[in-house]
Amino acid sequence: MSKKTLTLAAALLVATTHAATAHATLEQDSVTQNATEKLTVRIGHGCDGAPTLRVRVQIPEGMIAVKPMPKAGWTLETVVKPYAAPYDYYGNTLTEGVQEIVWSGELDDAYYDEFVFRGQITDKIAADRMLYVPVVQECADAAERWIEIPADGQTEEDLEMPAPGVMVHPAAAN
């Protein structure tokens, strides 16, 4: 086997190992500036065999007018706080909005589920970069905190508990 083939195989193994250990992911892989986008957080299993009791999603700055989708059998709560700066939203000035979504219920470790919300991706979020959405998965005696965001020069593979992310595409030209 050539050195190039071995290097490629090692990189593939690292990538698949990383993907296999991820607990909170996003179904979507990209979003567009100035568009209302649906994001789906996927929870693949509980915490060391214990059921998931709460899923908390932190809304990144620059994503506004967020609305979560209710989930049968789960209690839904939103945390509204001021935005860092006001946003124009269809001629209205928004100064506050949903900053965190909390679903409370029970998801057995043997099952998988999805938690859905939507919001506008403003042009305050840089195009051609990843937008990270921190997620905390709480169980009875533990929590999985998928909140790490890569610093400049780092990749998600460099982190132990990376936040799920999507690539931001530039707004369509008018």
Q: How far is CA 150 from CA 40, 81, 104, 129, 157, in A?
A: 21, 25, 28, 12, 9
* Average pLDDT, integer, range 91-120: 97
> pLDDT tens-digit profile of 146-166?
999 999 888 888 899 999 999
Q: What angle do CA 54, 139, 104 make, to 5 degrees?
A: 20
Mean pLDDT estimate for the chain: 88
Q: How confident is the model at residue 127 (pLDDT cuts 50, 70, 90)?
A: very high
More confident residue, 81 or 48: 81
Please determine, for residue 97, whether its predicted confidence score (pLDDT) is greater than 50: yes
Calculate what percentage of the chain has a pLDDT beyond 90. Answer: 79
Please determine, for residue 1, whether its predicted confidence score (pLDDT) is greater than 80: no
Neighbours of 81 (CB within 10 A): 11
User: Could you tell me the pTM of the whole model?
Assistant: 0.85
Hey, what are 59's tokens? 């809304």
Hey, what are 79's tokens? 């945390």
